[in-house]
Amino acid sequence: MNTTTAPALAYAAGLAAGELRFQYCDGCESAVFHPRVLCPTCGEPSPGWRTSAGLGTVHATTVLHQRGADPYNVALIDLDEGFRMMSRVEGRAPEDVAIGDRVRLRVVEDAGAPLAVFVPLENEEGA
């Protein structure tokens, strides 16, 4: 991967390829997410890139209701590689998403751009 690419662009390119990329700092052995030019823990410049397996656990979730639209959830997902990201869980009613649910990454298109969302593992196991 081109290390001179802006971190946000490298992340977006990963999503376009169907991958959830995150940075990893070898200096302090920390997963870094959202992508940035310096490690937020130790200040090391240009953390390297890794690709997540896309497995995680719902850390927190809430249901949002907008006038004239279906409710949807917003969730914090703890990825197995050691970072947390905000996303949503699809494939289940928003109010049925629970803390502790195991989920897997799915990259979908939203307004013409790739977006990282998650689906419950049992949805895939039963398919």
Q: Which of 73, 98, 100, 105 is nearest to 88 (CA)?
A: 73
Residue 71 and residue 56 in contact, taking contact as beta carbons nearer than 8 Å: no
Average pLDDT of every residue of the chain: 92
DSSP string, 59-122: EEEEEE--TTS--EEEEEEEETTS-EEEE-B-SS-GGG--TT-EEEEEEEEETTEEEEEEEEHH
pLDDT of residue 123: 62
pLDDT tens-place string over residues 95-126: 999 999 999 999 999 888 999 999 999 866 54
Reported pTM: 0.87
Per-residue exposure over 81-107, b if at least 16 CB sit within 10 Å of its own CB, e if not: bebebebbbbbbebeebeeebebbbbb
* Eight-state DSSP code of residue 10: H
pLDDT bin (cut points 50, 70, 90) of residue 4 is low
Say whether pLDDT at 26 is over 90: yes
pLDDT of residue 46: 82
Say whether pLDDT at 3 is over 60: no
